[in-house]
């Protein structure tokens, strides 16, 4: 057993039992961050804050929400929105955060792709990040079911139908997922459980993994510079703070992070109070009706690009293309064969690949919202093919990249 002495303070008492000084040093004051990074590196912290907003607002909504097909719609649209003091505020915070979190995730992901932050020892950061993306997608989808409006019901119907595997007709699997032939009480209850318990727990665990994965390779920097963190940390601790290429996570980097978070929160609460409409679909203000299919069924904006990869093809090919789009980003660290961890603008063909991918995803998103008719369906078809071809080409265009 360890040797304990009479504690001289509460901190000393805790220190002897939990080594809080060591934890503070490893996670905060001697967790070294490069100086040459820009505001895009604050997106991780913006995501943490947005997740916290989702948790807190979700807990308040949970106090009045009723997971019952007869009362769910009214508990949201009448009880929470009208009867409960400030219920509307918690709902707007929750809805806006659920939408904005995807915008920030996409910015964070594409920052990683642009700067090559998924390479050379950072693969686990990338993979855990992609698992977070999947978990957030499942969280958003299950949450969308809960108000039990028309879009909840029909989006639930369409998405669960995908599991029938087209001509495989795995209808038994679809019924097993729904717990019924159509979305009904069993469906609502299980998606409620997933939304408020299982997926949030998984997200918390994955955030822990994501942070743990950052600790050894450290964060990348905007110049693609290979920093010797031990040497630079020694310099810093010896007093040469200006000459060292690194700074402490707390409080140096965190104070910069907090400035970006502050600006973000102004934008966020502007949306919550004055422009929340974009986060709520008008069709979902009608209660679910299994006998009345809405004219257009489409997902929220953040799923439109992958929906548009599914839509232009026949059912079976569409499902394969859709499955491809879901998993391919995870494989990026292994598909990119180049030895360079530098910004895309210094990587020749990869720079073109990056910008075409980004613009094409925006085009797919726009087409996914429009009805699949005439010119729109042709543009959607070409964009979906381009998306697949780009990924297939990636190993070849990066294989011959010269070391910079
Ligand atoms: C939604 C939950 C997420 C949270 C809370 C989160 C948080 C963070 C934080 C705090 C950092 C360090 C600072 C920074 O670079 O911003 C970071 C880095 C990173 N994250 Fe995430 N992240 C999330 C999702 C993702 C996703 C979806 C991806 C994409 C696959 C991803 C990929 C990365 C990468 C590659 C880095 C390293 C950046 C570098 O080394 O420069 N993260 N994340």
Residues 108 and 224 in one domain: yes
Q: Note whether 65 and 75 are within 8 A (CB).
A: yes
Residues 332 and 276 in one domain: no
CA atoms within 13 Å, Cβ hemisphere of 145: 28
Angle between helices 185-193 and 150-161 (to 10 degrees): 90
Q: How far is the CA of 72 from the centre of ligand 1 (A)?
A: 35
Full domain range(s) for residue 146: 17-297
Residues 76 and 168 in one domain: yes
Q: Which residues pair with 248 in a beta bridge?
A: 32
Q: Count other Cβ atoms within 10 Å, centred on residue 332.
A: 20
Residues with Cβ within 8 Å of 331's Cβ and at least 6 positions away in sequence, in order, are: none
The residue out of 297, 320, 345 marking a domain boundary is: 297
The residue out of 255, 278, 297 marking a domain boundary is: 297
- For residues 148-173, give the mean pLDDT: 95
- Which atom of ligand 1 is the closest one to the Cα of 109? 29
CATH number, residue 206: 1.20.810.10
The answer, yes or no, to whether residue 90 has pLDDT greater than 80, is: yes
Q: With DSSP H G I counted as helix, E B as strand and the rest as coil, what are the percentages for the chain, rounded to 5?
A: 70, 0, 25
Tell me what percent of the residues of the chain surpass a pLDDT of 90: 97
Q: How far is the CA of 190 from the centre of ligand 1 (A)?
A: 30
Residues 314 and 288 in one domain: no
What is 187-229 written as a DSSP string? HHHHHHHIIIIIHHHHHHHHHHHHHHHHHTT----TT-----H
Residue 1 belongs to a domain:
no
Q: How far is the CA of 205 from the centre of ligand 1 (A)?
A: 14
Q: What is the pLDDT of residues 30-84, one digit of tens each?
A: 999 999 999 999 999 999 999 999 999 999 999 999 999 999 999 999 999 999 9
Tell the residue nearest (CA) to atom 19 of ligand 1.
125
If one residue of 44, 51, 258 were mutated to test the ligand 1 pocket, choosing by the most ligand atoms within 8 A of its CB, it would be 44
Residue 72 belongs to a domain:
yes
Residues 122 and 252 in one domain: yes
State both tokens at 396: 């070849």
Residue 278 belongs to a domain:
yes
Q: CA 35, CA 86: separation in Å to the nearest integer?
A: 42
Residues 293 and 309 in one domain: no
What is the b/e burial string over 284-310, where b = at least 16 CB atoms within 10 angstroms of the residue's CB?
beebbeeeeebeebbbbbbbbbbbbbb
Residues 237 and 314 in one domain: no
Residue 7 belongs to a domain:
no
Q: How far is the CA of 229 from the centre of ligand 1 (A)?
A: 20
Residues with Cβ within 6 A of ligand 1? 41, 43-45, 47-48, 51, 105, 108-109, 112, 117-118, 122, 125-126, 129-130, 132-133, 136, 207, 210, 214, 219-220
- For residues 376-385, give the mean pLDDT: 96
What is 149-190 written as a DSSP string? BHHHHHHHHHHHHGGG-GGG--HHHHHHHHTSSSS-HHHHHH
C-alpha distances in Å from residue 56, one per residue of 144, 155, 193, 301, 324: 18, 26, 17, 24, 35
Residues 107 and 53 in one domain: yes
The answer, yes or no, to whether residue 361 has pLDDT greater than 90, is: yes
Cα dihedral 286, 75, 87, 94 sign: negative
The residue out of 267, 297, 327 marking a domain boundary is: 297
Residues 288 and 163 in one domain: yes
- For residues 97-109, give the mean pLDDT: 98
Q: Note whether 178 and 167 are within 8 A (CB).
A: no
Residues 288 and 309 in one domain: no
Q: What is the pLDDT of residues 305-348, one digit of tens each?
A: 999 999 999 999 999 999 999 999 999 999 999 999 999 999 99
Q: CA 247, CA 237: separation in Å to the nearest integer?
A: 10
| Contacts of the segment 21-28: beta carbons below 8 A, 24+ positions apart | 26/215, 27/249, 28/248, 28/249, 28/250
What is the predicted pLDDT for the residue at 160? Answer: 96
Q: How far is the CA of 58 from the centre of ligand 1 (A)?
A: 23
Residues 89 and 127 in one domain: yes
Residues with Cβ within 8 Å of 343's Cβ and at least 6 positions away in sequence, in order, are: 114, 115, 116, 222, 223, 224
Tell me the whole-structure pTM to 2 decimals: 0.96
Which single residue is written with the structure tokens 């905007």? 222
Residue 25 belongs to a domain:
yes
What is the predicted pLDDT for the residue at 260? Answer: 98
Residues 271 and 175 in one domain: yes
The confidence band for 372, taking pLDDT boundaries of 50, 70 and 90, is confident
Residue 37: strand, helix, or coil: coil
Residue 106 belongs to a domain:
yes
**What total of structural domains would you count in the chain?**
2
Residue 159 belongs to a domain:
yes
Residue 9 belongs to a domain:
no
Q: How far is the CA of 37 from the centre of ligand 1 (A)?
A: 14
The confidence band for 120, taking pLDDT boundaries of 50, 70 and 90, is confident
| Nearest CA among 343, 386, 325, 306 for reference residue 113 | 343
Residue 247: strand, helix, or coil: strand
- Which atom of ligand 1 is the closest one to the Cα of 118? 35
Based on C-alpha coordinates, what's the Rg of the chain? 24
What does the mean pLDDT of the chain come to?
96
């Amino acid at each position: 057993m360890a040797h304990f002495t009479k504690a001289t303070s509460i901190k000393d008492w805790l220190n002897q039992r939990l080594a809080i000084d060591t934890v503070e040093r490893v996670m905060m004051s001697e967790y070294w961050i490069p100086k040459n990074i820009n505001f895009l590196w604050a997106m991780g912290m913006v995501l943490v804050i947005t997740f916290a907003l989702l948790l807190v607002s979700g807990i308040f909504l949970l106090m009045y929400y009723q997971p019952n097909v007869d009362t769910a719609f009214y508990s949201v649209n009448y009880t929470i929105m009208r009867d409960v003091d400030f219920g509307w505020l918690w709902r707007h915070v929750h809805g806006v955060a659920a939408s904005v979190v995807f915008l920030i995730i996409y910015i964070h992901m594409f920052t990683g792709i642009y700067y090559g932050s998924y390479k050379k020892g950072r693969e686990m950061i990338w993979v855990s990040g992609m698992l977070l993306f999947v978990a957030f997608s499942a969280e958003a989808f299950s949450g969308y079911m809960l108000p039990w409006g028309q879009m909840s019901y029909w989006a639930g119907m369409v998405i669960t139908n995908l599991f029938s595997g087209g001509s495989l007709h795995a209808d038994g699997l679809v019924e097993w997922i729904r717990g019924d032939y159509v979305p009904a009480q069993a469906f609502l209850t299980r998606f409620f459980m997933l939304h408020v318990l299982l997926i949030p727990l998984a997200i918390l665990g994955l955030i822990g993994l994501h942070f743990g994965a950052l600790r050894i390779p450290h964060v990348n920097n905007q110049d693609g510079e290979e920093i010797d963190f031990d040497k630079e940390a020694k310099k810093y601790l010896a007093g040469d703070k200006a000459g060292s290429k690194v700074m402490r996570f707390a409080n140096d980097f965190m104070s910069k992070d907090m400035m970006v978070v502050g600006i973000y929160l102004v934008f966020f609460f502007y949306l919550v109070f004055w422009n929340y409409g974009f986060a709520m679909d008008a069709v979902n203000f009608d209660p679910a009706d299994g006998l009345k299919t809405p004219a257009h069924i489409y997902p929220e904006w953040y799923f439109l690009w992958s929906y548009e990869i599914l839509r232009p093809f026949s059912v079976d090919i569409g499902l394969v293309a859709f499955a491809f789009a879901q998993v391919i980003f995870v494989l990026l660290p292994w598909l990119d064969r180049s030895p360079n961890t530098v910004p895309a603008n210094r990587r020749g063909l990869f720079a073109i690949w990056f910008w075409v991918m980004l613009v094409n995803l925006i085009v797919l998103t726009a087409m996914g919202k429009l009805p699949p008719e005439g010119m729109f369906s042709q543009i959607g078809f070409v964009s979906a093919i381009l998306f697949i071809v780009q990924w297939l080409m990636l190993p070849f265009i990066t294989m011959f990249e010269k070391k910079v």
